[in-house]
Amino acid sequence: MASSRRLEDGIERDFDRQLSYGDYLHLDEILGAQHPRSRPVHHDELLFIIQHQTSELWLKLMLHELVSARDGFRSDEVPLALKRLARVKHIQHTLTDQWSVLATLTPSEYLEFRDFLASSSGFQSYQYRAVEFILGNKDAEMIEVHRHDDRAAAMLTALLDSPTLYDEFLRHLARQGYPIPDEVLARDVRAAYQQRDGLLEAFKIIYSDPQQHWGAYETCEELIDIEDNFQLWRFRHLKTVERTIGHKVGTGGSSGVDFLHKALDLTFFPELYAVRTVLDPPRRRDHA
């Protein structure tokens, strides 16, 4: 067994005129973007910073994919939308798994640098808020937290004023002939989505005969996966915060764990859960 290998002759070595890996990814900027504020610098602050920076990168990609999925529903390109949602689910798994790394930060270690965070808080993540907006949990008041950042406020305002992923899916179903109530299609897209029992008829049709309505059925289940994953992320967030700071007030002024716990009651696609309650067993066919 060899303990080393020589560079192959064709491997590029001169990057004076060629684009390098580091240049393409702007690694100098990315790897130079960690600036611990604790004095003296505490060893574990780097973990805290990288955890949140990488989460923001994944949120950026998630939002990119959700916008594209929404556009897919708008143009009735369901396979494209499903491809995007499949990628979103993998991103969600990665984000959820990341909490296990931050959970290695003990309360004693975090308290060594927590005060240096001042009023900064994950609650102020405008990309997280953007993801919630496009999925249906809209709240114009949340934009006020980001008025100091023109770019963030503009992004959130645009998403507040536009249909959600679910809105476009329901409009797609209406174009396919499913009985989507007019009040749903004409709803105020600036408002947080609320359950409308009139939609249950359409979803009951879909779920009562999946083979006949496979495209719609598959999409409904993909959306359920997205919401389940989101709830798992919220729960892991809550439990990581609880094991790190207990029930202390958050650095951004929220009630901390208690505030996060309330998010577990939020839902994006309520009718997709409600339809399960009203489904009837399939009728059995008699055999001669």
Q: Distance (Å, rounded) from C-alpha 138 to C-alpha 159?
A: 9
> Is 50 within any annotated ligand binding site?
yes
Cis amide prior to 40 (ω within 30 degrees): yes
Say which residues have a Cβ less than 8 Å from residue 274's Cβ, sequence separation at least 6.
195, 197, 200
Q: Distance (Å, rounded) from C-alpha 86 to C-alpha 80?
A: 10
> Is 48 within any annotated ligand binding site?
yes
> Is 110 within any annotated ligand binding site?
yes
* Residue matched to tokens 């560079």: 7
> Is 114 within any annotated ligand binding site?
yes
Which tokens go with 115? Answer: 């005060």
Q: Distance (Å, rounded) from C-alpha 12 to C-alpha 131?
A: 40
> Is 104 within any annotated ligand binding site?
no
> Is 212 within any annotated ligand binding site?
no
> Is 219 within any annotated ligand binding site?
no
Residues 125, 126, 129, 130, Cα dihedral to 10°: -140
> Is 91 within any annotated ligand binding site?
no
> Is 49 within any annotated ligand binding site?
yes
Binding site for heme, by residue number, is 237
Binding site, by residue number, is 48-52, 110, 114, 237, 251
Binding site for substrate, by residue number, is 48-52, 110, 114, 251
